[in-house]
Chain A
Amino acid sequence: MPDPLIDTPTLEKIERLTIHWQKSLPGLVGGHNTSRFAGPGQEFLDHRHFHHGDDLRAVNWRVYLRLEKLFLKMFQLEPRIPVRILLDISKSMSAGAASKFDYARRLAAALCYVGLVRLDSICLQPFSARLHDAFTASGGRHRFQPAVNFLASLQPAGQTDFLASARQFISEYPQRGLLLVISDFLDEHDCEKPLQYLADFGHELMLVQVWADEDRQPPWEGELELEDAETGQRVELAFDAGARARYTAEFDEFCDRLERVALRNHGRYVGLSTSVPVEQAVFNSLVASGVLQ
């Protein structure tokens, strides 16, 4: 029996939420977010001249009686776009006392449940140095248990390579949609450029950065021999309060850069510490960011 990841009371609380995206993305009807694209919908969008082949049911007959010209009523499309969750399963996610990997899985499960309840199409895409096997589900909460089983079966391994993963993602998922990236974004190389690629391709970015407290403020002092969880590199150093302050400043600067990438591309950014409970993160941080409403 896999770990339920999220208990039932929490699921009952979050099922009233909805995944919200800002961009107008094309897609089939059936979604719940408005789009600037016209199509079958309920909300009036605009008029245009009637062309041959247009549906006569959309002709505005009142205008025709007055002006004796055929105008077609256009309606706002509420497309059903794919929600993809890129979940970082590299080894850095399991380093330290508090496992970011578990936290990220629980967060992904919560977002998956919210999407499934609103009949969104959800794709769970784990990645490290490349994309791993994905899990796609849509059509109701009864598909949540397979999603949980999928998440529970994941194991942290490998190095993070955002660039390779982004390229592979773009090639495998040509349809634009909402892209939720749950990761610590700790790549040996720069992760901002790959994220920019994804945004430039047309995806709406939602960056969820997960960190452990010791990632931001290491509690140790004195002589340290540090080992990189992904690369295995070692370094010896002396650490004290001053060094800790500089370290934290560097970390915060990195977070700011990530946020700037997201905002610059009309996306959103949420930084979450593993000390914050998942339920609190969902209802406070994610709702405040607007990705959940």
Chain B
Amino acid sequence: MNFLNLSLGELLGLTGAISAGVVALYLLDRSKRNQVVSTLRFWVSADVRTQLKHRRRIQQPWSLILELISLFLLLAAIAGPRLGIIDGSGRDHVLILDTSAWMGSRARQGTLLDEARASARAYLRSLPSRDRVMLVRADALATPATSFESQHAVIEEAIRESQPSASALNLEQALDYARIAQKQSKRPGEIVFAGAGRVPEEQATLDWLPPNLRVLPVGTPQENVGLRKVGLRRSPSQPDTWDIFVVVRNYGARPHDVDLALQFGKSPAGEKRFSLRPGSEETAAFVYKTRVAGYLEARLNIRDAFPQDDRALIELPAQAALRVIVYSKEPQLLRPLIAANPQVQAAFDSPDQYNPAANADVVVLDRFAPPSPPRVNSIWIEPPASGSPVPVVQTKTAVRLERWRDETELGQNLRTQDAVLESSELFQPAAGDISVAEAAAGPLIVARQDKDLKLVVFGFHPGRGAMKYQLATPLLMENILRWIAPVAFRQWEVQAGTVGIVRVPVEKGTDPASVRVLDQNQRPLPFTIQDDTLQFFSGAPGNVSVLMGPRETVYSLTLPDVAEAVWTPPASVRRGVPRASLEGSATRDLWPWLALLGGLGLLVDWLLYGRSRVFRLRASQMVSPLSSRIAAKVGWRRQERKAS
């Protein structure tokens, strides 16, 4: 016999303390009561007075003994005694529940996860109650749902609360985690995997498996065709056009013919029919022209086991054009430089129509100084010396353009050779100004940023003279506009992918400091760049933006990650729910009987010696002969009262 909840010493100590308390209370309750009464005449005349010459402190010893025995029985019941030989060392098991996206697919009854839950619960019920179990939910990450818990109800509750995630199963990591957890517990036990075992191809055959692994397989190979990836990006040549490509995969074992339909704002945007061989992927490209924002939906018209990957919804941003107003008497000189840019929406006005609060992003002032400076970004071309925002030092003829400051963003990638300007102003830059092009005598082009306003001042006209035919001229204008309004020239790219690890190819030598990875709440996500590949992890569905210079890629990670392969455990691995442990059935719990006896003893004590008159009178009539005989045997002289 052993005790589940208390040691023998604790039981005896508790019994002693409570018995002492009970005896004290008993003596207090049954001790002589002092009472002041109005008169003694009735007490005397009623002949109830009895002089107690040898008064005992304990009036009803049988009651006290019965109470003490009953309390001991109740305490023993609390201690949880068990009859039989018990191996006291319980075991620690790690139960890995597959909560990958694939577990949400349809099964015969409910989902695959429902079957896995049922198997896990069956396994749990087969364990003896002393065994502890840790539940680990496994998808792309192995997450412990509970610690090693001996209360199996807690584990069952955690199993019931498990839901399929959006990522694929990383079985290798989950098994490794279980092995480490079990090693730390220092108690033997099993590692149990309950799930479909749909893993990436590289994990289809695992090199190492724990020797104490048990598998509770669920599900059968099922046919599924799903969207693998949906990508969109603005066409470099036509910014209002989206290049769309969709990757569809057949995960099943049979060929399937699938219709793919694209919709933008509930309007058809494209469709294609795929004939997919088992395990194959196909890509379809579409072009869709729109400047407005909206939702693009890609849908596969098929009814398969896993409908979650048959539809993808991507939010497309609006195409914002850069509004430029050119105030010039000779707009034909500037029109090729500015209006040729497809991301620029240019308007040409005469200087007479100058408006300092023009509704534009950039204002170009061609050879005139306005009475009041513009309130938006501006490009000044050969401004009069009196009205130039950057002081003009002198105006020279036959000025040789010595060099471009290609270390700046504005002078990047600009080259000219023997460029001689017929006439040009030379400026006196202030501190913080950016010199873009310089002659021997001083800067020819100066850029300035004042808080939110940016301006660029040309000392010469880029559309006239020697610069008119230079290749650097349109590039210079592109650099200036990109510097003034970088958002308008940002390259948008949207990818609908699966949660988990995302890999993005980057240019060689990309500085990690120039890259930002932000989640949908604009909080930075950790990432690494290795071997020209940016890599980050997103465990939950949502949008992630990757900003690299002018390029912004939005990853809409909403597609569930369905692994390609099915892990098949080796034949040596134990399978299925084991039979219920015989160790537990060899013991018998005694506490219900002890509790019943203890309660019965207290009830009898109450009936015989309690203050309830009705029961007491009846019971005493029945039991008093018996108790008198017992008292006579053990030698107690009980004081007989006239009333009885």
Contacts and interface: CB of A to CB of B under 8 A. Distances in A.
B39 A240 contact: no
A92 B44 CA distance: 17
B35 A224 contact: yes
B33 A92 contact: no
A11 interface: no
Interface string B16-43: 0000000000000011111111111111
A188 interface: yes
B52 A238 contact: yes
B50 A238 contact: yes
Interface in A214-255: 214-215, 218, 220-231, 233, 235-243, 246-247, 249-251, 254
A227 B34 contact: yes
A58 B644 CA distance: 77
A95 B50 contact: no
Contacts of A230: 38-39
B48 A236 contact: no
A235 B43 contact: yes
Given A223-B33, A225-B33, A247-B43, A237 B38 contact: no
A251 B42 contact: yes
Contact of A247 (B32, B46, B611, B642): B46
B39 A186 contact: yes
Interface in B587-644: 611, 613, 617, 639, 641-644
A146 interface: no
Contacts of A4: none
Contacts of B50: 236-238
Interface string B262-280: 0000000000000000000
Contacts of B40: 226, 228, 231, 233, 235
Interface string A85-115: 0000000110110001000000000000000
A241 B621 CA distance: 14
Nearest to B29: A222
Nearest to A252: B42
Contacts of A78: none
Interface in B222-253: none
Contacts of A222: 30, 32-33, 59
Contacts of A242: 641-644
A233 B44 CA distance: 12
Contacts of A204: none
A250 B43 CA distance: 9
Contacts of A93: 38
Nearest to B643: A242
A160 B32 CA distance: 29
Given A92-B39, A95-B38, A240-B643, A224 B33 contact: yes
Contacts of B33: 220, 222-225
B452 interface: no
Contact of B49 (A220, A221, A235): A235
A184 interface: yes
Contacts of A96: 36-38
B45 interface: yes
Contacts of B617: 241
B508 interface: no
Residue with the greatest number of chain A CB neighbours at <10 A, chosen from B31, B46, B50, B643: B46
A186 to B, nearest CB: 4
Contacts of A100: 38
A124 B501 CA distance: 104
A227 B641 contact: no
A230 B51 CA distance: 22
Nearest to A243: B48
Interface string B391-413: 00000000000000000000000
Interface in B87-107: none
A225 B32 CA distance: 7
Given A237-B43, A249-B46, A250-B42, A95 B52 contact: no
Interface string A9-34: 00000000000000000000000000
Contacts of A237: 43, 48-52
Interface string B334-370: 0000000000000000000000000000000000000
Contacts of A236: 32, 49-52, 55
A239 B40 CA distance: 13
Given A225-B33, A238-B52, A246 B39 contact: no
B42 A254 contact: yes
A69 B42 CA distance: 67
Nearest to B30: A222
Contacts of B41: 186, 188
Contacts of B51: 236-237
B318 to A, nearest CB: 84
Nearest to B42: A250
Nearest to B32: A223
6 contacts: A95-B36, A223-B30, A226-B37, A233-B40, A237-B48, A250-B42
Interface of B: 30-52, 55, 59, 611, 613, 617, 639, 641-644
Q: Would you list the 9 A-B pairs with minimal beta carbon distance, nearest first? A: A242-B643, A243-B48, A92-B38, A186-B39, A246-B46, A223-B32, A247-B46, A237-B49, A95-B38
